[in-house]
Amino acid sequence: MTIQVGDRIPSTPLVKVGAEGPEQIGSDEYFAGRKVALFSVPGAFTPTCSAKHLPGFVEKADELKAKGIDEIACTAVNDAFVMGAWGQASGVDGKVTMLADGNGTFAKALGLELDGSAFGLGQRGQRYSVVVNDGVVEQLHVEAPGAFEVSSADYLLGRL
């Protein structure tokens, strides 16, 4: 079952990619006591994710924070080293926290997994954005397959 507005984020492991390298963190700990704009992409270094999705949140980081967002995070079913390299290559420079969901545990717990096997991608997470306030979902915007409309930084800004 897909997570809904008003639901609490389920407790799963994530790996936060920081300056000192990967650090294990629980989702309940990560989302506690603050407002986080999280967006999910099907994969690091993939075309739409690299050309539009991640860059949009990097470019709009200050505007999102001015609207009450404490932290912006990107997640994908990729390992922490890939997420770290993608963040570096994309110039996130502390504006977006890269969260690795290497085994897809978080995506599955949210009910937002994606079977990309037909494209050689295996199990991934869907493309979406969510606003989480102290562990509770305030907004959820899930894309239709192949679309990039409701999960962008601009779309989220318009709803804050």
The yes-or-no answer on residue 49 being catalytic is: yes
CB 17 within 8 A of CB 80: yes
Domain ranges of the chain: 13-157
Residues 70-104 have pLDDT tens digits of 999 999 999 999 999 889 888 888 899 999 999 99
pTM of the model: 0.92
Q: Does 3.20.20.110 match the CATH number of domain 13-157?
A: no
Six token digits for residue 19: 């300056």
Residues 38-73 have pLDDT tens digits of 999 988 887 777 778 888 999 999 999 999 999 999
Pick the catalytic residue: 49, 74, 137, 142? 49
What is the DSSP secondary structure assignment for residue 51, as one 8-state letter? Answer: I
